[in-house]
Structure 1
Amino acid sequence: MDKHEDSYHFITLFGSWEYIRSHNLLIDRCDLTPKYLDPRLSSLLSVFLESQGEMLSFQQLDALLPEQISTNPENLYSLLQKLKRVLGDSERRPKYIKTIPNEGYCFFSEIEEYYQQLMLPDSNSSIAFTDYKVS
């Protein structure tokens, strides 16, 4: 029998996504596909959600991301591209993260936040989830 963690979680909704930061978990609300994010991708997404509607320069992103995340320009670009891929975002028609040439990035999707009691599988669960890790 699988054990579950049953508690209240802070949830952020944007587009077709539901994000549970405490578990680095994205759920596609269209098909209920769960995706566990690498902690670095989760941190980057959290920074964007907390700064929704604001243009963030490279220096601002660097200051807002946790110290353990190396944010040299190549690494940050790679993280951004991976996050956009996970979200199904594109440069030509962005739905969530817009690139502002020579200035920075802006998370422009509307968000909704709330607390909800959820029953999530623990780490020993046999349920298959998609992990999104940064290589």
Structure 2
Amino acid sequence: MRKQSTYRPKRTSPPMLINRGLINDALETRERMIAAAFSGGWAGEPHYDELADMRNVLTIAGAHKDDQQILGFCHAMSMVLHNIRMRYAETRRMGVSGAERQMLSEFCGIYADFWLRQSVGFYERCCEELNRAMKINKEDA
């Protein structure tokens, strides 16, 4: 009779590359369509909200990883989001300038590349933290 090992590998979530890789084309197309909506002038509040959520979850992840490049890029994206919000307040339309359009396109690529290198568990923790922060802000308002 053979002895069986008592070693059991620790259960961790698979890398995002595996999980997201299965549906990456659909996700990346959706993320890029959000940027295209602003470029095309047909973006609405749901597009803005989703873009802000993408930036917020990436900011949380960058803070956890202490990644200054990601945090700097997220700060630059917050300026783009602010400009979009100000334009919307003045004109009731969401649009972007040429530099902002390029920034949105670059943001979608960096966002996808960053999450492909992370675990699904880390992504879920960052999303949960964002949801907690949003819930706290709603309660305070």
TM above 0.5, yes or no, is no
Query: If each structure's helix is expressed as a fraction of its own residues, which one has the higher value?
Result: 2
Query: Is the strand fraction higher in 1 or 2?
Result: 1
- The structure having more radius of gyration, on CA atoms, is 2
Per the normalisation by structure 1, the TM-score is 0.31
